[in-house]
């Protein structure tokens, strides 16, 4: 996406004046969650020695998977604790490159904070809690939906999110090793045919799905990795959640994995999913939340594939379409600044009301699906925001 609604002279003025940038483009902190529990977070790098790295020139390299986990701590009020980004300069480089936003307009990104406490004490009185595994979109990040992760953790869920290396916007393993995404269409060799492109995307989808399966394996043996966190995680109650390409990743994983209790997809990019997947039964309760319009994808097959997959699902499928939203409203991006609307990155929906509605929708759905708690009806969903469309089906 490129910048809209700026004349060149006005843009030059903003960039040349640091004070103006700070005043006009303040970036807001991650909104505080609403649940009763404070939120802790931890970082890991897990190594899957059974797989070689798919885009590494060094054939002996094995697959490394950076993972961040959010979890409930003791009850109490929420306050801002840690910074959202460990490496803001790398983040600025990626966002500036991918979205055409001048880096100087993003200087405040280093100041964004969240309520999570790094390495905070887990709430051991809760016992085993449901687990959610998240997959980011193409060029995204493991923490790209921190708004939802902290909200869910504050209600007693444990969330694991990974960086899919060579697909994430960037991964910094050390000061000397930074890996940027190499999976955009522009990285494909010149002359790549459509058939070759989608065949590669299908392989790409499998690799990401294998990352998720490996994380499930790690959670099942978490007592050998982090005994205190293991006491909080119910490895028999795992749900998947993803955004964009991450949404198709978790949908494809639901077909491969029998260890999944439910699946949540946020504005899924289903085009990379081969027909052999779409036409099978994922046999998993499915919630999809996304844009009302499908103009963003410029391809009607994206919605057609999602609808076909939902209709083939033997378990309940719910598709919720929300007006005035765009693709990146379903990530943290829309919460940092009002300017994302001006750049055409996010939709015209009221971002505060949308955040509260989406968070409530996810908590209510997961409570109902994995904890048999509360209710989740079409009528209640439609009360969250005007103009919502809900399609609910279950095969008999």
Top CATH class of 8-393 equals: alpha beta
Sign of the torsion angle spanned by Cα atoms 330, 334, 335, 341 = negative
Closest CA to 249 of 148, 150, 361, 138: 138
pLDDT on residue 57 = 63
Per-residue b or e along 83-100, where b marks 16 or more CB atoms closer than 10 Å to that residue's CB: ebbeebebbbbbbeeebe
Q: What is the pLDDT of residue 128?
A: 96
Of 127, 38, 40, the C-alpha closest to 75 is: 38
Residues recorded for the chain: 396
CB 63 within 8 A of CB 48: yes
In this prediction, residue 120 carries a pLDDT of 96
- For position 14, what pLDDT does the model report? 39
Enumerate residues 6+ apart whose C-beta is below 8 A from 170: 87, 90, 91, 93, 94, 178, 179, 180, 181
Strand-pair partners of 262: 239
Residue 72 tokens read as 């409930």
**Which phi and psi angles does 326 have, rounded to 5°?**
-120, 175
| Whole-angstrom distance, CA of residue 162 vs CA of residue 212 | 8
pLDDT at 183: 87
Question: CB 314: neighbour CB atoms within 10 A?
Answer: 12
Q: What is the pLDDT of residue 358?
A: 96
Domain boundaries of the chain, sorted by first residue? 8-393
Q: Residue 337 has what pLDDT?
A: 80
Find residue 264's DSSP bridge partners. 241, 287
| Residue 383 to residues 293, 376, 388, 391, Cα–Cα distance (Å) | 20, 12, 8, 15
How high is the pLDDT of residue 343?
76
Q: What does the pLDDT profile of the chain (396 residues) look like in tens digits?
A: 334 444 444 343 333 444 444 444 678 899 999 999 999 999 999 999 999 998 876 667 899 999 999 999 999 999 999 999 999 999 888 888 877 777 777 888 889 999 999 999 999 899 999 999 999 999 999 999 999 999 999 999 999 999 999 999 999 999 889 999 988 888 898 999 999 999 999 999 999 999 999 999 999 999 999 999 999 999 999 999 999 999 999 999 999 999 999 999 999 999 999 999 999 999 999 999 999 988 888 899 999 999 999 999 999 999 999 999 999 999 998 888 877 887 788 999 999 999 999 999 999 999 999 999 999 999 989 988 889 999 998 664
């Amino acid at each position: 996406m490129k910048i809209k609604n700026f004349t060149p002279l006005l843009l030059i003025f903003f960039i040349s004046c640091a004070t103006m940038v700070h005043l006009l483009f303040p970036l807001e902190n991650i909104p505080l969650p609403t649940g009763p529990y404070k939120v802790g977070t931890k970082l890991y790098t897990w190594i899957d020695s059974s797989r070689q790295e798919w885009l590494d020139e060094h054939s002996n390299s094995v697959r490394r998977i950076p993972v961040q986990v959010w979890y409930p701590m003791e009850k109490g009020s929420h306050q801002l604790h840690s910074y959202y980004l460990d490496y803001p300069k790398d983040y600025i480089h990626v966002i500036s490159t991918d979205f055409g936003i001048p880096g100087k307009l993003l200087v405040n990104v280093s100041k964004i904070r969240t309520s999570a406490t790094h390495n905070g004490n887990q709430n051991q009185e809760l016992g085993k809690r449901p687990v959610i595994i998240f997959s980011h979109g193409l060029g995204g990040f493991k923490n790209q939906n921190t708004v939802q992760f902290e909200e869910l953790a504050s209600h007693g869920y444990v969330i694991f999110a990974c960086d899919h290396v060579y697909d994430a916007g960037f991964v910094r393993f050390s000061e000397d090793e930074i890996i940027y995404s190499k999976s955009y269409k522009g990285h494909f060799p010149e002359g790549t045919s459509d058939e070759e492109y989608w065949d590669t995307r299908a392989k790409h989808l499998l690799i990401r799905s294998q990352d998720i399966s490996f994380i499930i394996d790690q959670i099942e043996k978490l007592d050998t990795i982090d005994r205190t966190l293991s006491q909080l995680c119910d490895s028999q109650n795992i749900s998947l959640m993803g955004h964009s390409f991450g949404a198709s990743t978790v949908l494809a994983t639901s077909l491969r994995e029998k260890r999944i209790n439910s699946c949540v997809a946020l504005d899924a990019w289903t085009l990379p999913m081969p027909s052999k997947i779409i036409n099978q039964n994922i046999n998993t309760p499915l919630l999809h939340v996304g844009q009302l319009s499908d103009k963003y994808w410029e391809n009607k097959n994206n919605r057609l594939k999602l609808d076909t997959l939902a209709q083939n699902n033997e378990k309940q499928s719910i598709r919720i379409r929300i007006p005035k939203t765009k693709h990146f409203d379903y990530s943290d991006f829309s919460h940092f600044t009002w300017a994302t609307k001006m750049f055409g990155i996010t939709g015209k929906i009221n971002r505060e009301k949308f955040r509260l509605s989406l968070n409530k929708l996810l908590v209510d759905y997961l409570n109902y699906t994995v904890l048999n708690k509360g209710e989740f009806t079409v009528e209640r969903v439609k009360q969250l925001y005007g103009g919502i469309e809900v399609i609910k089906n279950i095969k008999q």
